[in-house]
């Protein structure tokens, strides 16, 4: 098995990715300080999915990461790559506490890049976000869409991290894949793993499921006067299991020695013309340091009210919600063009929004049954 470090691996996307890594011949090793996650997730992984060792590490501190890497290498052997999830993720909290987001998100990225160089780890999969695009002029956004100023410090912290990776690619041997998510939602279909927010949920779907369960009084829709089809914000959404699968494919891409021929064959089979610029970039990815960026989404956008309607349909529960004022940091609409991920990674979203809200509701019922 190939050993890979998963920073923030006890969190929402990290735990789902660990499951997919185990299913595909990798040994995930979690680095997490549990500031926004729970050891319960690691217990569940070990009980139901496979052995996942972990180290209690705050990735902002180089000496702590050095120590954990030394211990992991001594116990498990060579580390093939790093999947870096460790970050704060709330748009709203980043507006209120911007320095916390720069300290944690940018600081942990800087430390991991330093330690990867020191330990000779050349492969990185970075957890980025669609917020790096800011308010786009045209939809859907592709990886070539120019980045606008981010609407909140969270998005700016991800932009800075992407710049740091690009600079390190130029400076020394580093091969990276950056994955820009379009709002991960849902939970593992088993009902055993899902989003486990500490305190008030910052994302819409876990807040919706908690309101539907009676744990919270109401769900607030932040604004209904946007220039969208129903006045509420439109977002791309993607099932967390699909996102987890994309991370495995991204690591495969970095470790694959036959990348160009494999992607060329994929393009040929779908009957598309071969783009010379793409093939040149692929060859660079295969043979040199590089950072390849991919959008992860379904290719469609859904409004907040459409997500509520999908949840009510799948759960059979009428949601108590009201319209509130706009929230600072929100863009009106954004969703992804995912053609590049399909061609290069062989990845497309297999699950839809209805699947995601159904699985999220199943996970909420699991939590309810434990109380």
Q: d(Cα 214, Cα 284) in Å, to the nearest integer?
A: 53
Across 252-281, average pLDDT: 64
117: closest CA among 168, 159, 80, 71?
168
Asked if residues 239 and 349 have their Cβ atoms less than 8 Å apart, the reply is: yes
Q: Tell me: pLDDT of 283 over 70.
A: no
Q: What percent of the chain shows pLDDT beyond 70?
A: 91
- Output the pLDDT for position 120: 96
- Output the pLDDT for position 200: 80
Asked if residues 331 and 223 have their Cβ atoms less than 8 Å apart, the reply is: no
Q: Tell me: pLDDT of 258 over 90.
A: no
- Output the pLDDT for position 256: 80
Q: Tell me: pLDDT of 285 over 90.
A: no
Bridge partners (DSSP) of residue 175 are 123, 290
205: closest CA among 223, 222, 184?
184
Q: Could you identify the residue written with the tokens 């890049």?
A: 113
Long-range pairs, 260-263, Cβ under 8 A, ≥24: 260/286, 263/343, 263/344
- Output the pLDDT for position 100: 97
Band of residue 330 on the pLDDT scale cut at 50, 70, 90? confident
Q: Tell me: pLDDT of 16 over 70.
A: yes
Band of residue 257 on the pLDDT scale cut at 50, 70, 90? low
236: closest CA among 300, 155, 309, 141?
300
Q: Tell me: pLDDT of 318 over 80.
A: yes
- Give the range among 25-39, 249-263, 290-304, 319-333 with minimum mean pLDDT: 249-263
- Output the pLDDT for position 282: 61
Bridge partners (DSSP) of residue 129 are 181
Q: d(Cα 180, Cα 130) in Å, to the nearest integer?
A: 5
- Output the pLDDT for position 273: 60
Across 314-329, average pLDDT: 94
User: What is the C-alpha end-to-end distance of the chain, expressed in Å?
Assistant: 38
Q: All domains of the chain, ordered by start, with CATH?
A: 2-184+238-297 (3.40.50.720)
- Output the pLDDT for position 328: 83
| Whole-number average pLDDT of the chain | 91
Alpha helices in 198-315 (DSSP H): 204-212, 240-255, 259-269, 276-287, 304-315
Instruction: Dump strand ranges (E) for the chain.
Output: 2-7, 26-32, 54-56, 79-84, 123-129, 175-181, 184-185, 219-222, 234-235, 238-239, 290-296, 302-303, 321-324, 333-334
pLDDT digits (tens, 9 = 90+) for 41-56: 999 999 999 999 999 9
- Using CA atoms, how far residue 111 sits from 67, 129, 165, in Å, is 13, 20, 12
Which residues touch 273 (CB under 8 Å, ≥6 apart)? Answer: none
- Output the pLDDT for position 162: 97
- Output the pLDDT for position 262: 58
Q: Are strands 219-222 and 238-239 parallel, antiparallel or unpaired?
A: unpaired
Across 269-281, average pLDDT: 62
pLDDT digits (tens, 9 = 90+) for 206-222: 999 999 999 999 999 99
pLDDT digits (tens, 9 = 90+) for 59-69: 999 999 999 99
- Output the pLDDT for position 197: 79
DSSP string for 141-152: B-TTSPPPPPSS
Across 80-106, average pLDDT: 95
pLDDT digits (tens, 9 = 90+) for 127-161: 999 999 988 889 999 999 999 999 899 999 999 99
Across 174-190, average pLDDT: 94
Q: Tell me: pLDDT of 240 over 60.
A: yes
Which residues touch 66 (CB under 8 Å, ≥6 apart)? Answer: 115, 118
Which residues are part of the catalytic machinery? 154
Q: What percent of the chain shows pLDDT beyond 90?
A: 77
- Using CA atoms, how far residue 109 sits from 2, 33, 151, in Å, is 22, 15, 21
177: closest CA among 69, 296, 32, 96?
296
């Amino acid at each position: 098995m190939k050993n890979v470090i998963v920073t923030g691996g006890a969190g929402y996307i990290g735990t789902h990715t660990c499951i997919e890594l185990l299913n595909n011949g990798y040994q995930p090793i979690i680095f997490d300080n549990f500031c926004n996650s729970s050891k319960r997730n690691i217990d569940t992984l070990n009980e139901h999915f496979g052995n996942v060792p972990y180290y209690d590490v705050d990735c902002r501190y180089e000496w702590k990461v050095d120590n954990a890497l030394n211990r992991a290498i001594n116990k498990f052997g060579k580390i093939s790559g790093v999947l870096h999830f460790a970050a704060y993720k709330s748009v709203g909290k980043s507006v209120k506490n911007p320095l916390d987001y720069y300290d944690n998100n940018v600081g942990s990225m800087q430390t991991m890049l330093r330690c990867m160089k020191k330990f000779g780890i050349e492969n990185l999969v970075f957890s980025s976000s669609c917020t790096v695009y800011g308010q786009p002029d045209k939809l859907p956004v592709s990886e070539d869409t120019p980045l606008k100023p981010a609407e909140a410090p969270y998005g700016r912290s991800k932009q800075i991290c992407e710049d740091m990776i690009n600079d390190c690619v130029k400076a020394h041997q580093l091969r990276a894949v950056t994955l820009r998510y379009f709002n991960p939602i849902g939970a593992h279909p088993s009902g055993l793993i899902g989003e486990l927010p500490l305190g008030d949920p910052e994302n819409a779907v876990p807040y919706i499921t908690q309101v539907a369960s009676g744990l919270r009084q109401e769900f607030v829709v932040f604004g209904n006067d946007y220039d969208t089809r129903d006045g509420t914000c439109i977002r791309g959404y993607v099932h967390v299991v699909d996102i987890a699968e994309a991370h495995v494919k991204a690591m495969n891409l970095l470790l694959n020695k036959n990348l160009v021929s494999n992607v060329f064959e994929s393009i040929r089979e779908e009957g598309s013309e071969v783009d010379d610029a793409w093939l040149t970039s692929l060859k660079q990815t295969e043979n040199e340091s590089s950072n390849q960026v991919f959008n992860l989404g379904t290719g469609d956008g859904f409004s907040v009210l459409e997500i509520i309607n999908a949840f009510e349909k799948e759960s059979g529960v009428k949601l108590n919600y009201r319209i509130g004022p706009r929230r600072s940091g929100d863009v009106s609409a954004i969703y992804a063009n995912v053609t590049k991920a399909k061609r290069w990674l062989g990845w497309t979203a297999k699950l839809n929004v209805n699947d995601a809200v159904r699985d999220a509701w199943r996970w909420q019922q699991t939590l309810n049954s434990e109380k």
